[in-house]
Each structure stands twice: as C-alpha cells, then as structure tokens.
Amino acid sequence: MIYLRKALPNDAESLGKLYYEYCKDMYKGFVDDDSFDELSVEQCIDRFKEIKCRDTIVGLFDDEIVGFCSFGPCNDKAAIANCGEVYQLYVKSDYRLKGDGRRLLHEALRILGREEYNFVVVKCLSNQDNTISFYENMGFRDTEDEYPLVSNPDIKIKVYFKTI
C-alpha cells in the first residue's frame, strides 16, 4: 500500500517524469506516436515547477512517487458554480488494482469538499472502458457531454460528474 501526502515543490521532477509516462500510457494506441514529439519530459517537469506542485496528492512506495492525483477548479467555462475537477489520476501499472487509485481520488475529493466545492467532474476518453468503470464505481455519472480529442477527432472525451 502506498503512503499519501500533498505534493511538495521539490517533487516537480518526479511528478513531471510520471506525468510524461501518464500521457504516453493514457494515449497509447489512441493517438499517433508522433503526437508525443511535441511533448518532452522537460516540459512536464516545468509544468509542475510552474505550479509549485500545488493541488496534487502523491502516492509513495519506498520514498518513490508511484502515483498522483491533480485537481482544482473546473476548467470548463460552462461549469456550474462550486465545481471542481480532477485533472489527472495516475498510478504506475505495477501498483494498480490495489486500491491506491481509489485512495488518491478519495483524498482529492476530501480536499475539494473542504475547499467548498460541491461538485466535481472528470474527463476521460470514451473508449477507455476500465477508466470509465473505475469512475462509475467511484460514484461518477455520465453527463452525456462529449467532445472530440484534438489530436484524433474520431476519439471522444466524455465528462463524468459527482456531487461531493
């Protein structure tokens, strides 16, 4: 089982590398490998440095970050008031199916609720059945909203919603 804590600014390098792994894992088979030519590990690290790793929970095993959950206000301009969003939830493949993703998500939802968000959304690819099943088992419901993935318009991004 992993240990959870809030991410610290000095976690930026580890989180950037894990985020890069997340992107490649998340979109593998859904977008062309050339799409990743525009994304570098350094850009991912810089992203976490820029935000000082705020609004991110990390999961550690033997002092190594093996998962993370980033969250905050909903990025959708059409979102209702007091709506938060889980931007990313990722656990390395060797640590999946052990409840650690659930624990990361529960902690993010707890923090969002404490920050007075009443609702939360997550977005995922419409053809990622395991991801959709995970969120539905966590109480998220399909909003029926979807839009095309920019790099592959044949793939849709679905929006799921939960009251917290």
Q: What is the mean pLDDT of the chain?
A: 89
Give, in degrees to the nearest 5, the angle at Cα 115 between 134 and 102.
20
* Token output for 91: 């656990």
pLDDT of res. 35 = 60
- pLDDT tens digits, 10-33: 999 999 999 998 888 777 766 666
- pLDDT tens digits, 67-97: 999 999 998 876 788 999 999 999 998 888 8
Q: Which CATH superfamily is domain 3-163 in?
A: Gcn5-related N-acetyltransferase (GNAT) (3.40.630.30)
pTM of the full structure: 0.89
Q: Per this entry, what is the length of the chain?
A: 164
Residue 4 has pLDDT above 80, yes or no: yes
Listed by start position, the domains of the chain span 3-163
